[in-house]
Structure 1
């Protein structure tokens, strides 16, 4: 199976997700700083989600670049990942519009956690389709400590959202910062 179609479809879905999120930003009615400042929760939630979608796009690109082929399992696990990512605009808007209230922050964290969980079968199916444990992808991935830490931090953020939603947001931003730092494992393996 050709991997180009999967890459093109995934890129298109991720581009649409970002487009929907930016369309949720409303033009402020007025020309003063006070009117602009009223929009800060919506803008801040958009920035965080934009970074997350960018991180998934970047990692998806690296994985697909290292892969030589895809299978039916890869197609389905990719769709599973894209399903959870497609919920980002709704939860982003809900969290921003409600000024980081408890339930929206918890639901946002749940969607982030499900994206991270959905990434696992995607990467495992891609590894299996490209030679299994001895493949370039499997060697580059190693123990995947970032993925395990991310899921734990999301779960903590979901639980804390009902007590201290701002702490949850800090946890979500921390996970984004961890993943924002470029991961050179795949690039270094390809160069070897």
Structure 2
């Protein structure tokens, strides 16, 4: 199978995830700007979560550009990633509704950690399918970026026990690492398919 169906399905699931997140933003029962104040934590949680979903969507697109065909293990690894991303609206909603308390922050960190691990497993499945001449393996090398972000999520998870604010800052930093699409893959593809 080619990557077209996999990418179309993933795009649809990600679009639904974003839609679910925005539906969590409830309209206030008032006509003044001050009526929006109680929604600020929910809105900030939405913004961070929207950026995370966007980051995964963008990098997923680049990742699949390295594939010519999809194996069963790639399909399952992709579903694993989509499963964890699908939990992001729930985790973000709980986090925002409870003003960034410790337990909701821990759940949010756990979901991001598992989504990051699932993305890493998807990369590994693609590299195994590509064999020794893997375009992806050459492009990402030792993949310090993925390992650093996973480490940040683990540290954030433990930081929720005593300092939820620090944990939240670490989660934002983890996202900022990936805000710019993975140029390593673009460069790797350019060496294989020069224009």
TM-score, normalization: structure 2? 0.95
Aligned position for 2:146: 147
Aligned position for 1:158: 157
- Where 2:100 maps in the other structure, the secondary structure is coil
CA deviations on 1:32-59 (whole Å, 9 max, x unpaired) are 2221111110000000110111111111
Aligned position for 2:80: 80
Aligned position for 2:36: 36
8 Å Cα contact 2:105/2:167 also seen in 1: yes
Between the two proteins, the alignment pairs up a number of residues equal to 191
- Distance, in Å, in 2 between the alignment partners of 1:53 and 1:121 is 18
Aligned position for 2:109: 109
- Alignment of structure 1 residues 125-140 onto 2, 5 Å: 125-130=125-130, 132-140=131-139
Q: CA deviation at 1:181?
A: 2.5
Q: CA deviation at 1:162?
A: 2.0
Q: Does 1:99 align with 2:102?
A: no
Aligned position for 2:18: 18
8 Å Cα contact 2:59/2:181 also seen in 1: no
- Distance, in Å, in 2 between the alignment partners of 1:110 and 1:167 is 15
8 Å Cα contact 1:48/1:173 also seen in 2: yes
CA deviations on 1:77-98 (whole Å, 9 max, x unpaired) are 1111111111001000000000
- Where 1:56 maps in the other structure, the secondary structure is helix
8 Å Cα contact 1:133/1:139 also seen in 2: no
- Distance, in Å, in 2 between the alignment partners of 1:62 and 1:171 is 25
- Distance, in Å, in 2 between the alignment partners of 1:184 and 1:117 is 20
Q: CA deviation at 1:182?
A: 3.0
- Distance, in Å, in 2 between the alignment partners of 1:51 and 1:42 is 14
Q: CA deviation at 1:175?
A: 0.7
Aligned position for 1:177: 176
The unaligned stretches of length 5 or more in structure 2 are none
Q: Which runs of 4+ in 1 moved over 6 A?
A: none
Q: Which stretch shows the higher mean deviation, 169-178 or 23-32?
A: 23-32
- Where 2:178 maps in the other structure, the secondary structure is helix
- Distance, in Å, in 2 between the alignment partners of 1:186 and 1:151 is 19
- Distance, in Å, in 2 between the alignment partners of 1:19 and 1:105 is 22
